[in-house]
A and B are shown apart, each in its own frame.
Chain A
């Protein structure tokens, strides 16, 4: 099973990288860009767990290590591995 995890800054936390990329896109002429948020994308391959167990354990991984929930939120999907 493959967990695909996105970790992003919570709303209201200054995303200084996103802001810098936003400015750069505007400077390149993409004036339609209203907002940019940068985050992290992770893929974690899992073995020997049911989807339900994976749901619980990946949530635990995010809470413990993968995201700092003071400033970051996370979301993930689970897919069967190829």
Chain B
């Protein structure tokens, strides 16, 4: 199975993703430079976290016009699976592959901590190895992760089961106290309408190496692998 990690100038979670996919999950993993074009050979693509182009103007705003993004958009529109993590999620909303926007955290502070998420829909290529309602422990690390969308968009997301993760407490209950950044409706991750593109602010690659106690992040990557196998 062949997967690719897109590297933008300023990506800084690309090596973490590479390590998990290549060394832990033993996939044929490739770097994709932002100036490259063409992605047809890949089973899935990861847009990693970081600060592409220094987050200038808005996070993801400039990365979205990188040469590779034209290929990513074509790839996604043909049903290719794309996972965007943190800055990758921000790039996906800027590119229009996912609806809404990610704004400054409500508390104006950069937040780096472990927290818990509730799986809202396990019937997707990104969550098939989870169960709906399952609570995952995955860290966040961002200053601009407050998900926002207008009422119509939020309604569409909910009607079509596109919300995949919500911030919650350890028991799986959502509350303002368990919402780290003020995200609309506690949203931590969403998919597009056809569920082949997913963006999430938490970092599954930071809790997927069995050398660590927490490997909840593996569930996301293993789901992607399963769905890719089913596809081929």
Binds B, one of A26-34, A51-59, A66-74: A66-74
| In the bound complex, CA of A65 to CA of B65 (Å) | 9
- A74 CB, min distance to chain B CBs, angstroms: 12
| In the bound complex, CA of A73 to CA of B108 (Å) | 21
B182 contact set on A, CB distance < 8 A: 14, 16
Interface residues of A: mostly helix, strand, loop or mixed?
mixed
- A17 CB, min distance to chain B CBs, angstroms: 7
When the two chains form the complex, which single residue of B94, B100, B108 contacts A16, counting CB atoms closer than 8 Å? B108
Q: Are B148 and A71 in contact (CB-based, < 8 A)? A: yes
With A68-B94, A70-B150, A71-B148 as given contacts, are A17 and B104 in contact (CB-CB < 8 Å)?
yes
With A65-B65, A68-B94, A71-B148 as given contacts, are A16 and B104 in contact (CB-CB < 8 Å)?
yes
Q: Please list the residues of chain B having a beta carbon within 8 angstroms of any beta carbon in chain A.
A: 57-58, 61-62, 65, 94, 100-101, 103-108, 146, 148-150, 182
A sample of 4 more A-B contacts (CB under 8 A), given A16-B105, A16-B106, A17-B108, is A13-B148, A65-B62, A68-B94, A70-B150
Q: Please list the residues of chain A having a beta carbon within 8 angstroms of any beta carbon in chain B.
A: 13-14, 16-17, 20, 40, 65-66, 68, 70-71
